[in-house]
């Protein structure tokens, strides 16, 4: 119907034009319907436009009440796309950020129409602003007090854009807590009185417009007390520096300390051989450096710090640093502690020497000849060395005297300590504490190893958890952490459990809480070492007197704890051999058991699938 109506109207207009065309030239002029359209903003060619621009235009016509507008926009002047149709107002605002991009030239026009006629505007262009840049942090600097004015360089904003800034602050880097926000400005005032004194804080600023977000780098500051001068920091010499007299003067240097209220800052210089230094050698204001060379004594270690204070007595100090002032370029002579010279070096005892001025490191020599020539450790940087069992092989039949020395080194030379002598401790006891249980075991040094000379007899793991007493019948189905024990008068022995120990299920052998710290269940490698050491290489020298053939030459006292099988004890072989578990990584490893036969034979074997129905003794070796 709308089409027929429009057709009729056009027919009538055509007739009207035909009739008027037939009139004479003197007839009055006829007024035709008109539409005028002119776009206004953004102005043609403008740059820096924001990302939600508002477009305006003006229009007039014969039938203004019927005017509607189509809005076109695009990046190709010849191919503009219809963005909005049949608008009734003289403006249009783009609110979808996916339409407008940063730093792009766009073209636009408006078509005005009244239902019959239409007219389009000129095509104008504009260029959007670039993506916002990251803010540059300005203040605070290194220190901040109770009132902080956070400042930053603002990012250039696009025409019509509002820049919103979020300020982040916290002890974590990067900070995650927003403490405030502002718009179109580069500063934010903050009450920092609740921040922790002398703690380090991190801050950053995040800026956003309607299109993008950018973040500054992370700044940091140290929170100081209100009214106090800046905290000074030591610059040189570096801590533990080596300074040689031949190289010239020593200059103590530190950072300037400025008082926030403009008071004069006084520097008190402390230099001493004591740590912390208590000897104040000078006080002054001005330059933050001092030359103490005239008061230094060669081959001395000095400690120093600086106290900066204002006229009100408020002060902060640097940390205390040290330097070694040396008269020669080589290290000073190390001095070994003499505590072991007149006695025995205990198990796990250390050689100790004082701090060696000028030394980069030391080498350790231990030997049975004087002076010692065997180097047991190189480039040690501490002031002590724990002597390893492998450094001092001995046994109760061959107690050796050892000699030790240390040699200090630097790039310019070496210096040697005095030689000290000692004998290793050959036997001793170890107290194994497991929860409420405390058992004392003897140990013996054999060659480069230290062995317990009794079998384990604990009923607990090292964390204090109880082991279970084994059930009457054992099988793979009863796999667990078990112990079992003979009666104390078994086999005519008084107090069997103390002298022979208890037996354990194989899963205990791989449990991390079975051996105490510093010890481990004996392994095949441990047995191989002791076999190579003893002479003759015969197991009878290790067997205890329980065995008729046992000579126990080295004090190991290797004896059985018993032989527990699936349904009870096997007593017939107790007098003819030992039976011990070996340390393995898993229950399926080879060589998980050791027998020492009373003829001196060593037998390594794997229990295999029957492991869960076997319980043997356990012997420990020092790590």
- The domain that holds 67 is classified in CATH as 2.60.40.10
Q: Does residue 419 share a domain with residue 438? A: no
- Last-in-domain residue among 305, 326, 347: 326
pLDDT (0 to 100) of residue 159:
73
Q: Does 6 reside within a domain? A: no
**Average pLDDT of the chain?**
89
> Minimum mean pLDDT among 149-163, 218-232, 283-297, 419-433: which range?
149-163
Q: Average pLDDT of 453-470?
A: 96
> Minimum mean pLDDT among 166-170, 354-358, 505-509, 563-567: which range?
354-358
Q: Do strands 427-434 and 420-424 pair parallel, antiparallel, or not at all (unpaired)?
A: unpaired
Question: Higher confidence at residue 256 or residue 570?
Answer: 256
Q: Does 23 reside within a domain? A: no
Confidence of residue 9 (pLDDT cuts 50, 70, 90): very low
Confidence of residue 412 (pLDDT cuts 50, 70, 90): confident
Determine which helix (DSSP H) or strand (DSSP E) holds 551, and give its type and residue range.
none
**Is the pLDDT score of 1 beyond 50?**
no
Q: Does residue 394 share a domain with residue 362? A: yes
CATH number for position 414? 2.60.40
pLDDT (0 to 100) of residue 8:
42
In contact, 278 and 272? CB cutoff 8 Å: yes
**Is the pLDDT score of 506 beyond 70?**
yes
Share of the chain above pLDDT 90, in %: 69
Confidence of residue 424 (pLDDT cuts 50, 70, 90): very high
**Is the pLDDT score of 128 beyond 60?**
yes
> For residues 468 and 466, what is the distance between their CA atoms, to the nearest angstrom?
6
Question: Which H, E and C letters describe 79-104, residue by residue?
Answer: CCEEEEEEECCCEEECCCCCCCCCCC
Number of domains the chain contains? 5
In this structure, the number of other CB atoms found within 10 A of the CB of residue 4 comes to 8
Q: Does residue 158 share a domain with residue 244? A: no
pLDDT (0 to 100) of residue 30:
54
Q: Does residue 609 share a domain with residue 470? A: yes
Q: Does residue 602 share a domain with residue 489? A: yes
3-state secondary structure of 497: helix
> Minimum mean pLDDT among 166-175, 236-245, 248-257: which range?
236-245
Share of the chain above pLDDT 70, in %: 92
pLDDT (0 to 100) of residue 169:
97
Q: Does 374 reside within a domain? A: yes
Q: Does residue 365 share a domain with residue 278? A: no
pLDDT (0 to 100) of residue 48:
82
**Is the pLDDT score of 350 beyond 70?**
yes
Q: Does residue 457 share a domain with residue 473? A: yes
**Is the pLDDT score of 395 beyond 90?**
yes
> For residues 130 and 107, what is the distance between their CA atoms, to the nearest angstrom?
17
**Is the pLDDT score of 31 beyond 70?**
no
Q: Does residue 195 share a domain with residue 274? A: no
pLDDT (0 to 100) of residue 612:
76
Distances (CA, A) of 246 to 61, 324, 327, 403: 99, 13, 7, 36
Residue span of the structural domain in which 435 resides: 428-622
**Is the pLDDT score of 497 beyond 50?**
yes
Q: Does residue 142 share a domain with residue 94? A: no
Q: Average pLDDT of 76-82?
A: 91
- Last-in-domain residue among 297, 326, 355: 326
Neighbouring C-alpha atoms within 13 Å toward the C-beta of 242? 18
Confidence of residue 20 (pLDDT cuts 50, 70, 90): very low
In contact, 617 and 581? CB cutoff 8 Å: yes
Q: Does 28 reside within a domain? A: no
Q: Does residue 579 share a domain with residue 616? A: yes
Angle CA 611–616–621, to nearest 5: 115
Collect all residues with Cβ–Cβ distance below 8 Å to 180 and sequence separation of at least 6.
166, 167, 188, 190
**Is the pLDDT score of 354 beyond 90?**
no
Q: Average pLDDT of 491-520?
A: 94
> Minimum mean pLDDT among 91-105, 360-374, 464-478, 506-520: which range?
91-105
pLDDT single digits (tens) 183-207: 999 999 999 999 999 999 999 999 9
Q: Does 18 reside within a domain? A: no
- Last-in-domain residue among 87, 103, 128: 128
In contact, 605 and 593? CB cutoff 8 Å: yes
Q: Does 597 reside within a domain? A: yes
Q: The whole model's pTM is what?
A: 0.56
Is-cis flag, bond preceding 140, omega within 30?
yes
**Is the pLDDT score of 172 beyond 80?**
yes
pLDDT (0 to 100) of residue 3:
36
Q: Does residue 200 share a domain with residue 155? A: yes
**Is the pLDDT score of 364 beyond 70?**
yes
pLDDT (0 to 100) of residue 29:
55
pLDDT (0 to 100) of residue 15:
43
Quick one: tokens of 326?
A: 């040396």
pLDDT single digits (tens) 111-127: 999 988 899 999 999 99
Quick one: tokens of 337?
A: 């502690």
Q: Does residue 595 share a domain with residue 507? A: yes
Closest alpha carbon to 97 in 59, 133, 53, 140: 53
pLDDT (0 to 100) of residue 137:
94
Q: Average pLDDT of 279-290?
A: 96
Q: Does 212 reside within a domain? A: yes
Q: Average pLDDT of 258-282?
A: 95
Q: Does 512 reside within a domain? A: yes
Q: Average pLDDT of 464-470?
A: 95
């Amino acid at each position: 119907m709308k089409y027929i109506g429009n057709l009729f109207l056009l027919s009538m207009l055509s007739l009207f034009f035909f009739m008027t065309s037939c009139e004479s030239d003197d007839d009055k002029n006829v007024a035709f319907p008109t539409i005028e359209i002119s776009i206004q903003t953004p102005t043609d060619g403008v740059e820096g436009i924001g990302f939600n621009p508002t477009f305006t235009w003006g229009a007039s016509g014969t039938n203004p009440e019927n005017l509607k507008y189509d809005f076109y926009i695009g990046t190709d002047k010849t191919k503009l796309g219809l963005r909005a149709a049949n608008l009734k107002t003289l403006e249009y605002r783009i609110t979808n950020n996916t339409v407008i991009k940063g730093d792009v030239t766009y073209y636009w026009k408006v078509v005005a129409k009244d239902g019959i006629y239409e007219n389009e505007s000129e095509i104008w262009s504009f260029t959007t602003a670039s993506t916002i840049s990251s803010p540059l942090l300005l203040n605070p600097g290194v220190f901040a007090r109770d009132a902080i004015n956070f400042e930053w360089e603002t990012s250039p904003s696009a025409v019509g854009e509002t820049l919103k800034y979020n300020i982040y602050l916290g002890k974590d880097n990067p900070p995650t807590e927003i403490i405030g926000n502002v718009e179109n400005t580069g500063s934010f005032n903050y009450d920092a009185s609740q921040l922790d004194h002398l703690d380090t804080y991190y801050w950053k600023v995040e800026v956003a417009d309607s299109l993008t977000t950018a973040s500054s780098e992370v700044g940091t500051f140290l929170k100081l007390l209100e009214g106090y001068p800046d905290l000074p920091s030591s610059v040189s010499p570096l801590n533990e520096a080596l300074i040689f007299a031949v190289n010239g003067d020593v200059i103590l240097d530190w950072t300037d300390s400025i008082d926030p209220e403009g008071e004069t800052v006084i520097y008190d210089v402390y230099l001493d051989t004591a740590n912390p230094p208590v000897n104040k050698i000078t006080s002054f204001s001005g330059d933050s450096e001092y030359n103490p060379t005239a008061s230094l004594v060669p081959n001395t270690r000095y400690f120093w710090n600086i106290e900066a204070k204002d006229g009100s007595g408020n002060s902060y100090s640097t940390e205390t640093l040290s330097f070694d002032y040396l008269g020669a370029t080589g290290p000073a002579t190390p001095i070994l502690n003499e505590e072991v010279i007149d006695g025995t070096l205990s198990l796990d005892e250390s050689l100790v020497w004082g701090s060696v001025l000028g030394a980069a490191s030391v080498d350790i020599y231990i030997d049975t000849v004087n002076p010692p020539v065997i180097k047991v450790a190189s480039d040690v940087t501490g002031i002590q060395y724990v002597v390893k069992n492998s450094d001092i092989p001995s046994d109760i039949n061959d107690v050796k005297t050892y000699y030790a020395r240390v040699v200090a080194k630097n790039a310019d030379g070496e210096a040697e300590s005095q030689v000290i002598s000692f004998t290793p401790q050959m036997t001793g006891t170890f107290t194994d504490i497991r929860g409420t249980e405390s058992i004392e075991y003897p140990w013996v040094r054999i060659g480069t190893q230290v062995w317990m000379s009794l079998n384990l007899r604990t009923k607990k793991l090292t964390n204090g958890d109880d082991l279970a007493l084994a059930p009457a019948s054992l099988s793979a189905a009863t796999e667990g952490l078990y112990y079992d024990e003979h009666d104390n008068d078994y086999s005519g022995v008084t107090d069997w459990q103390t002298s022979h120990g208890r037996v354990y299920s194989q899963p205990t052998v791989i449990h991390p809480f079975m051996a105490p710290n510093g010890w481990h269940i004996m392994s095949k490698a441990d047995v191989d070492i002791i076999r190579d050491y003893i002479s003759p290489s015969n197991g009878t020298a290790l067997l205890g007197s329980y065995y008729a053939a046992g000579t126990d030459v080295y004090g190991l006292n290797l004896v059985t704890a018993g032989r527990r099988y699936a349904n009870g004890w096997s007593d017939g072989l107790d007098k003819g051999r030992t039976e011990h578990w070996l340390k393995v990584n898993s229950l399926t490893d080879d060589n998980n058991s050791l027998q020492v036969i009373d003829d001196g034979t060593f037998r390594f074997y794997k229990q295999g699938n029957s492991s869960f129905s076997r319980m043997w003794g356990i012997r420990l070796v020092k790590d």
